[in-house]
Amino acid sequence: MSARSGIGYDSHRFAEGRPLILGGVEIPGAERGLTGHSDADVLTHAVIDALLGAAGLGDIGQHFPDTDERWRGADSIALLRRVGALLEESGWAAVNVDATVICERPKLGAYRDAMRERLAATIGLPASEVNVKFTTNEGMGFVGRGEGIAALATASVERVQ
C-alpha cells in the first residue's frame, strides 16, 4: 500500500457573541468565539486541510469556499465528514492525525479527550490515532496578543483501492 501525509493550518480572529468550537466541541464559558464563514472551528479546519493535502484533493477553500452561501454557518464536523467521504471515493483512508491548537486562552486541556474522540469518530479512526495538543505563542504575534486562535495539523492516509 502507498501512504502519504499532509499538513493543514488555519487561524481565525476572536469575535464577541459567538460560541468557541474546537474539534467539534463547544467550550463552555469561553468569553469569545471565533469569526468565520462557517463555525470557525480552526482545529477541524486544519485537520480537513491536512487530510485533503495528504490525499492530493486540494484544500478546504476549494471544497467549501467562503463565497458559497451553502457553507455560511456550517458545522465543521459535517464538513470533515464530507471530506472523509471524498477520501473514500478517491481510494484513500485516514491513518492518523496529529494537531496542535495555539492560543493564550482559554486553557483547553480539559477538553482534549472530547476533541480527540469527536474528530476520530468523524474520520472513522480509533481515538488513539488522533492526537490533539495545546500550546501558547508566548505572548508573540496575533495569537500572543489574544486576537485569535491558530491550529496546525498533520495527517497520514493510505491507499485502499
Q: For the segment 120-135, what is each residue's pLDDT rounded down to a tens digit?
A: 999 999 999 999 999 9
Which pairing describes strands 130-135 and 92-102: parallel, antiparallel, or unpaired?
Answer: parallel
Residue 34 pLDDT grade (very low, low, confident, very high; cuts 50, 70, 90): very high
Mean of per-residue pLDDT scores for the chain: 96
Question: Strand pairing partners for 34?
Answer: 14
Q: How far, in Å, CA of 24 to CA of 129, rounded?
A: 17
What angle, 0 to 180 degrees and rounded to 10, lies between the N-to-C axes of helices 42-55 and 112-123? Answer: 40
Which of these, 66, 63, 72, 117, lies nearest to 90 by C-alpha position? 63
**Predicted confidence (pLDDT) at residue 31 exceeds the cutoff of 70:** yes
For the chain, how many structural domains are there in total? Answer: 1
Locate 56 and state its grid cell.
Answer: 492530493
The whole model's pTM is what? Answer: 0.96
CATH of the domain at 114: 3.30.1330.50
User: 3-class DSSP state for residue 125?
Assistant: coil
CB distance 10 to 143 below 8 Å: no
Q: How far, in Å, CA of 31 to CA of 20, rounded?
A: 8
Residue 144 pLDDT grade (very low, low, confident, very high; cuts 50, 70, 90): very high
* Per-residue CA distances from 28 to 6, 20, 38, 131, 140 (Å): 31, 8, 19, 21, 26
pLDDT of residue 1: 60
Structural domain range at position 18: 3-159
Residues 69-88: what's their mean pLDDT? 96
